[in-house]
Amino acid sequence: MIPIDLSGKVALVTGVGDSESFAWFISKALQAAGAKLYFASHPRMVGIVENILEREADAEARALPYGAGELKVEKVLACDVAYDTLEDAPEAIRNDRRWNKHGDFTIKGMMDKLTPLVPGVDILIHSVAFSREIKNRQLETSRAAYLEAIGISSYSLTALTRAVAPMMEARGGGSVVGLSYIGGVRVVPHYGGGMSTAKAALEIDARQLAGNLGSKNIRVNIISAGPYASRAASAIGDIKKMIDHAAEHSLMPRPIGADEVANATAFLCSPLASAITGHVLYVDCGYNAMGV
Ligand SMILES: NC(=O)c1ccc[n+]([C@@H]2O[C@H](COP(=O)([O-])OP(=O)(O)OC[C@H]3O[C@@H](n4cnc5c(N)ncnc54)[C@H](O)[C@@H]3O)[C@@H](O)[C@H]2O)c1
């Protein structure tokens, strides 16, 4: 048997908003393999996530796969990945209690809080995406929404990777995994508002970063997941229709499960994937391979 053993590894996981998030399932898979977890969640989601981590009603959602026990997170840190430093945040956000009750809620603020808590970082999960105009077609997408979507959904991979890279280097290497969607390379109706562009950018940025950091044994990969009814996906429009369509037209005619994305992520973060970097791995039941 070849085990995936991540014991002693520290994982920084972005994008946990609730117990349906891909990042939630990814966290459970990483911990089932032995990793210690730190969450960097949107400031407005921190309380919700802390509740799910404690409430009796959510005990089932916390159960780790493979009978590995119950999900335990060392700390949920607030991080709005739209901002590198407090100077970048508009005054209205800096003065908003939902953000500033966490102190410095930017990437720098989150890293300043994380650094004294950990011996280093081995794994970074980028599972964040946002567009305020996701329902707008490309033709109707405003410049502001387009740039915001790219800033939050794509540039944040670069900013977060830059922030953790020295801590990974000190550990002898590390693994970064981001989440993409086929809407970044093919036309998917309803995937507008700059999100398709953001995913295209995310994929090439991951390859660029993999090149920048390869000599330091830091690997950067992307999982392109099939459609799945998370909170973000439900904002797209008819997610059920998209899931049914993908299921009907995939090589394996069924929907994907979040646990399957999580298992593939654990593999990419493990020594079993030691020569895999700059790769986009489709976890989509083969939908991407279809011609018609
Ligand atoms: N659900 C799907 O069908 C699907 C398919 C392929 C890829 N993906 C990708 O998977 C990733 C995770 O999405 P999900 O489906 O789990 O949905 P989700 O809503 O559970 O996760 C998205 C997360 O992004 C966070 N976020 C948004 N703006 C942020 C900001 N400014 N700062 C910090 N966090 C912010 C949200 O709080 C949320 O936790 C995204 O990159 C998404 O595009 C989703």
Instruction: Give per-residue pLDDT as tens, 110-124.
Output: 999 999 999 999 999
Asked if residue 81 has its Cβ within 6 Å of ligand 1, the reply is: yes
Rounded CA separation 228/222 (Å): 17
Asked if residue 105 has its Cβ within 6 Å of ligand 1, the reply is: no
Rounded CA separation 96/20 (Å): 27
Asked if residue 131 has its Cβ within 6 Å of ligand 1, the reply is: no
Collapsing DSSP to helix, strand or coil, 102 comes out as: coil
**Stated pTM of the model:** 0.98
Domains annotated on the chain, with CATH: 10-284 (3.40.50.720)
Confidence band for 136, pLDDT divided at 50, 70 and 90: very high
Cα separation of the two ends of the chain: 39
Question: Among all residues, which ones are annotated catalytic?
Answer: 154, 199
- Among 219, 32, 207, residue whose Cα is nearest residue 122: 219
Asked if residue 130 has its Cβ within 6 Å of ligand 1, the reply is: yes
Which atom of ligand 1 approaches the CA of 232 most closely?
19
Collapsing DSSP to helix, strand or coil, 193 comes out as: coil
| Smallest CA separation from ligand 1 atom 10, residue | 179
What's the pLDDT at 108?
Answer: 98
**194 phi-psi bin (left φ>0, alpha ψ -120 to 50, beta other):** left
Q: Which helix (H) or strand (E) is 11 found in, with range?
A: strand 10-14
Mean pLDDT of 18-30: 98
Beta bridge partners of 281: 223
